């Protein structure tokens, strides 16, 4: 029986792990992999204090190395279920079961899918949710990025290192990326922005060869020949395994007490991108991981002896 189990190896979970170990809690951190969204970030992080410019991959390596210096058990698995058991919790990960007095869920968010015909069929055959993982494969090919927010533009900027031409398709009448991000992307000279574009289908044979979209202004259907489609339309909380024990808001984010990150189930905390917190950033995820670990420590001291 652990005092505390933390789920997730992103900024929230890692920070929670460091704090929990320093409070002397017998802690396990269970994660599919380290890094979360940060590991897949295509351009440098420039807003985490202490590092004026650092790649997401390097920052997360530093986080992980800090965590590994603590007295904490690290288990590389995917948690499939959390149940209430007596005063504590029972977690299932693969064929294994783990028990803890308190749990912090910090499983972050997954890319939001497009849900158009062809998307599922061509995953790994031209459809990608991670430019840093897959970008180099599209060397010298024309690609499309779906989504005109910061993530879409950053993805296009990263892809411009490899490909000659990138379409950015934005559903709205204007792109949402910050001006500075837009300018850097446009300076590459390789990007064509198409607004009022509603993606209808991804087509191909063995691999993607085109996309079909509706021009929402003219109502005409158009086709673009592309070999890659990078999906950047936001994220959705990764919370399926905990849904019986928490309440959600209309965006499927877990409702928590802002001061402690505690959910409606006493002893179950939710920190980072998966909760109702408005600003989803590395530093806010770290802050919530710290809060949740300290609150879990107090909970364990008071309730779970």
Residues within the interface to ligand FAD (CB under 6 A): 7-13, 30-38, 41, 45, 47, 78-79, 106-109, 151, 154, 235, 238, 241, 272-273, 280-283, 285
Q: Which residues are CB-neighbours of 279 under 8 A, at least 6 positions away?
A: none
Extract the tokens encoding 111: 């890319």
- Smaller CB separation from ligand FAD, 73 or 215: 73
Residue 284 CB, shortest distance to ligand FAD, in Å, is: 7
Nearest to 26 by CA among 67, 70, 65: 70
| In the complex, least distance from residue 12 CB atom to ligand FAD, rounded to whole angstroms | 3
Nearer to ligand FAD, 193 or 239 (CB): 239
What is the closest distance, in whole angstroms, from the C-beta atom of residue 281 to ligand FAD in the complex?
A: 3
Residue 240 burial by Cβ neighbours in a 10 Å radius (0-12, 13-18, 19+): exposed
Among residues 130, 252, 261, 286, which one is catalytic? 130
**133 assigned to active site:** yes
Q: Which of 58, 133, 247, 252 is catalytic?
A: 133
286 is catalytic: no
**Choice between 107 and 204, CB closer to ligand FAD:** 107
d(CA 267, CA 256): 12
| Comparison of 37 and 182: residue with beta carbon closer to ligand FAD | 37
Nearest approach in angstroms of CB 258 to ligand FAD is: 15
Active site residue 130: yes
Work out the end-to-end distance of the chain between its first and last CA atoms, rounded to an integer number of angstroms. Answer: 12
User: Which residues belong to the active site?
Assistant: 130, 133-134
């Amino acid at each position: 029986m652990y005092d505390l189990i933390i789920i997730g190896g992103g900024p929230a979970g890692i920070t929670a792990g460091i704090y929990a170990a320093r409070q002397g809690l017998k802690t396990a951190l269970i994660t599919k992999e380290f890094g979360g969204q940060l590991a897949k970030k295509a351009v440098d992080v420039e807003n985490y204090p202490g590092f004026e410019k650092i790649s997401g991959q390097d920052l997360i390596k530093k986080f992980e190395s800090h965590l590994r210096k603590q007295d904490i058990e690290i288990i590389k698995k995917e948690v499939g279920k959390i149940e209430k058991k007596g005063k504590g919790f029972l977690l299932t990960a693969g064929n294994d079961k783990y028990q803890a007095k308190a749990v912090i869920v910090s499983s972050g968010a997954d890319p939001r899918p497009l849900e158009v015909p062809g998307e599922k069929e061509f995953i790994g055959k031209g459809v990608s949710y991670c430019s840093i993982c897959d970008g180099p494969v599209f060397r010298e090919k024309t690609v499309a990025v779906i989504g005109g927010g910061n993530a879409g533009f950053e993805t296009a900027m990263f892809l411009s290192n490899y490909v000659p031409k990138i379409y950015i398709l934005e559903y709205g009448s204007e792109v949402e990326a910050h001006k500075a991000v837009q300018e850097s992307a446009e300076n590459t000279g390789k990007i064509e922005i198409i607004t009022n574009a509603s993606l209808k289908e991804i087509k191909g044979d063995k691999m993607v060869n085109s996309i079909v979209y509706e021009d929402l202004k003219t109502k005409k259907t158009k086709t673009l020949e592309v070999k890659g489609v990078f999906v950047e339309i936001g994220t959705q909380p990764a919370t399926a395994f905990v849904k019986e024990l928490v309440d959600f808001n209309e965006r499927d984010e877990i409702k928590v007490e802002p001061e402690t990150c505690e959910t409606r189930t006493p002893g179950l905390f939710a920190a980072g991108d998966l909760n109702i917190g408005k600003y989803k950033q590395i530093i806010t995820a770290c802050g919530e991981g710290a809060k949740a670990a300290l609150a879990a420590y107090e909970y364990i001291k008071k309730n779970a002896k």
